[in-house]
Structure formats: C-alpha cells, structure tokens
Chain A
Amino acid sequence: MNRANSGKVLVVEPTSIVMDRLVGELLERGTRVSALPAPGRLPPYGAEVPRIDLPSYEAGDSDDSDPFGTIIFDLPRIDERSLFADGGGDPKNLSDLADEAYRFLDLTKRMITHQVFREKGSIWTLECDDFFEYYFTIPISPIFSSMRISCFRSLCKEFARFNLQFNNIVFQPGVESVPAAEYKAQLPNLKVFSLKFRLSSLERIAAAICDQIENASASMNGSVVHLGVSPNWNNY
C-alpha cells in the first residue's frame, strides 16, 4: 500500500458506489481494509472488511502496533442542488449542511489524533467533479468538496512535521453513475472535454484512485489529484 505508510486502510462512512468499487479493488490488491459505517447504516461490506466504531479511535485506545496508515473519506453525502431551490430553499437544509460539515471536521480531528502520535499516515477525500451537473442529473456537493479541499490545504501545512499527508482526489462521474438516456443525449456536448469523450467505468476510476493512493509518498501533500479527461482545474 502507500509507500510512506502502513498497509492498513480505513474507509470512513462509505456509502457511494465508487467507494464500493474502491474497497473491492483494495481487497483484490491484498490490502487490509476496515470500515467506519455511516450513522444509522449497517456495515456495508462482508466479513473481509471489519467494522470499526468511533470510540476505538480516541487517542491511546487504538492498537499502536497496527494503526491505519491510510484513511479515506467517501464522497459527500448531501446533494446541494436542493439547498437554494424554489427561490430560497429551506433553512433547515442549511443547518443540516453545517451539521454535516461539523461531522467531517470532528471525524478528521479524530483521524489525525489516531495518526499523529505515530508520526505517519495519510488522509484522503473522494470528490466528484460537480461541473458535470451541467450535463447530468447527478448529486453535486460543491460547497462540501471545496470545504474539504481547503481544509486539507491548511492541515498539510500544520501536520507535515508529523509526517501526515492530506490529499483530495477529484474525479469525473462513472458511466454507471449517470442516467443512460442523459448520457446518450449529452454525448455531443461532452466534446467540451475532448472529441469523442467517454466517461470511464467505475471499475477504472476505482483502479485509478487506488493507484494514486498506493503510489503517494510524503512528497505529495496538500494536493488535489484530478482524474479524468481534460479535468476541470479552475474550480478546485
């Protein structure tokens, strides 16, 4: 696994199909994976992916001999398209987003605490390029994704001295993630990315993410890794 860290991976609150494929890819490559389930969700994977509960992350409670070297946050869960719908939206949705932001920041604190005393580790987030909302009816999270990316830019500066790395991966949606009819209809417009542009399969995206995480070293920190064809650099 990650050259700079141990081979044990924790996936945080996995709910997306991209994460499903990524976990499958990690297991296939012989990586040990554990999961911290999202609130109210059952453990998403089989016995080969042990479930972890939050209390075990508190400083000093974890097994020092076998920490999680790599921690991966799944895609944001809130679809932000509805936040300002119908001329203003419901304020409750705005406070829900703030609660979700708090949860991410609190979990990140816990994950750093888990890794910082061992002076090694990397933390990643998965982000989907929200520019694709121009073409497809897909959930988007520009607020949350930008928040996580900016947060990690500061965290890398604060914790690099402890050999902790913070990186974000932004990828284009998998072909299975977009409505088939919309995909067919939008093909002419997708040449904004490249002539004869085609979305990648989730399998290929998961493999590419896995490659990035595997090959990252301490020399990559505070980075936003863009996967895809002609990726949308200017938004992140």
Chain B
Amino acid sequence: MTGASRGIGRAIALHLARVEKDTALVLTYRSNEAAASKLTEELDGLGAAYELVRCDISEAASVDNLFDHVAERYGRLDALINNAGITADGSFIQAEEAEIRGILATNLTGTMLCSRRALPLLAKSGGAIVMMSSIAAVKGKEGQALYSATKGAIQGLTRLLSRAYGPLGVRVNAVAPGFINTDMVAKLKPEMYAHVLKGTTLKRVGEPEEVASVVHFLATPLSSYINGTVIPVDGGLQK
C-alpha cells in the first residue's frame, strides 16, 4: 500500500496488520519521517510482518525500485492499495502550472505507474487493486476542482483496468471516502462542516478505520465477485 504514514493510509495499515496476520505488508511513505516513525512503533506493537519503505509514486524510477523489490523479495503480490494522494485546494483559476502538474503527477500518474507494475504480478496471483477515489469526484466540492478531477480519473482508471484485467482474474475496485476524521478535518471548527453533516444520513464524520475495513474487504477474496465498482464510504451523503 502506498501512502501509509498518515490519515486513512495509516488506519488501513493498522487494520491490515490486525486482521491479516499471515500477510506480509509492504507499506510506503513519501517524506514524512516523523509520521513513518510513529507508524513503525504502532506496527511493531501489533507484531505485524511489514516493511515501511520510502517511495515517491510520482517518480517512475522510485516506483520501479519498489516493485522490483517486491518481486525479488516476495515473488508475488496479492493486492495493491493505491492510497497515496495529495490535495491542491484553492481557487481553480488561480492554480499555477506547478500545482496542477503536481497533483496530476501524484494522484493520476503515480497511481497508474504503480498499477502498471503491479498488474503482471497480480495476474499471476489472481489478486486485486483497490483505488482511493473520493466523494469529491462524485459530488464535487468548491475549491477542490483539481482534486475532484484526479479522483474522477481514478474512477475511470478503475473501470478501464477492471475490464482489461478482469478476464485474467484481477479485480480492480475503488472506495470514495466522504468526510473522514483525519488531521485535515481535525483542524476545522465544527461549524465549518456542519452543512456537510446536515446532508448526511448518519449525521457524523467518518473515522479512518471505517474506510480501512472497506479497503480490506475489497483487497481480499471477501469481495471475490465485485469488480470495477466504486464504493462510497460517506455516511450516506446526499442519500
């Protein structure tokens, strides 16, 4: 799984460490050493079999190193969780070229690079890819047009790969988290997102662990007849 050190990625890593005791986890982070160190302590506490490696998914060479390592050390891959992603919130017409190219490089190209390298391995094992989309791609959000665009692209990529690799036994699905209690949300005052909860059936913010359990479901044979779909994990937003 990419992007493991913080937020939803961290929750997924810890969830997998708890429920998939016999599985070796290869987890990546880009640059946040402090968060990576904290995650290491938590995973050690759970007795998990894991590696936490540095990888910038926007760089093809970095992705190649990661998957070369996985192939050499483990010889197989059962699931890829494309979690790493960044935001670029703000006025759309004021977005600079570097900002636009940056979010495309990580959220779109990075996800495609990882998928490209994982697919041949997954085709051998009959494994699965889980993509991380967002409810911003489904419902839209002011100030998040770039993020929405890339997360929408992820949904199209999910459709494309599920068709191409479904016949080979590889499943490709996505989750679209809604308003989740991550560091970013913790900084907000409740009145800043009350309008979101107003239009949500469960009337509360989601917890990262609630996304993690769905990702686990999609990454394993528990979801063996689910392919090419996007599961919203949004507390019933606008239902």
Contact = CB atoms under 8 A, between A and B. Distances in A.
Interface in B117-172: 117, 119-120, 123, 136-157, 159-161, 163-165
B101 interface: yes
B104 A142 contact: no
B159 A146 contact: yes
Given A150-B148, A151-B152, A155-B145, A94 B112 contact: yes
Interface string A141-156: 1111111111111111
A65 B142 CA distance: 29
Contact of B161 (A84, A87, A106): A84
B152 A146 contact: yes
Interface stretch (A45-53, A109-117, A190-198): A109-117
B53 interface: no
A71 B146 CA distance: 20
A147 B164 CA distance: 19
Interface stretch (A25-33, A97-105, A169-177): A97-105
B185 interface: no
B105 interface: yes
B100 interface: yes
A116 B112 CA distance: 34
Contact of A154 (B93, B123, B148, B154): B148
B119 A158 contact: no
Contacts of B150: 147
A112 B146 CA distance: 14
Contacts of A235: 159
Interface residues of B, number: 48
Most chain-A Cβ atoms within 10 A of its Cβ — which of B119, B142, B145?
B145
Nearest to B143: A158
A216 interface: no
A149 B164 CA distance: 22
A151 B160 contact: no
Interface string A7-21: 000000000000000
Given A87-B120, A88-B120, A157 B159 contact: no
A115 B95 CA distance: 17
A130 interface: yes
Contacts of B165: 84
Interface in A102-142: 102, 105-106, 108-109, 112-113, 116, 130, 133-134, 140-142
Nearest to B63: A91
A105 B146 contact: yes
Given A113-B93, A150-B152, A143 B157 contact: yes
B28 interface: no
Contacts of B215: none
Q: How large is the interface on A (under 10, 10 to 19, 20 to 34, 35 or more residues)?
A: 35 or more
B109 A98 contact: yes
B108 interface: yes
Contacts of A89: 116
B157 A142 contact: yes
Given A84-B115, A98-B105, A113-B93, A148 B149 contact: yes
Contacts of B156: 80, 141-147
A225 interface: no
A98 B116 contact: no
A219 interface: no
Given A101-B149, A102-B100, A105-B146, A150 B92 contact: no
23 contacts: A84-B115, A84-B161, A84-B165, A87-B119, A87-B123, A105-B95, A105-B100, A105-B146, A109-B95, A134-B163, A142-B159, A142-B160, A146-B159, A147-B108, A147-B150, A150-B136, A150-B151, A150-B153, A153-B148, A154-B148, A155-B92, A155-B140, A159-B92
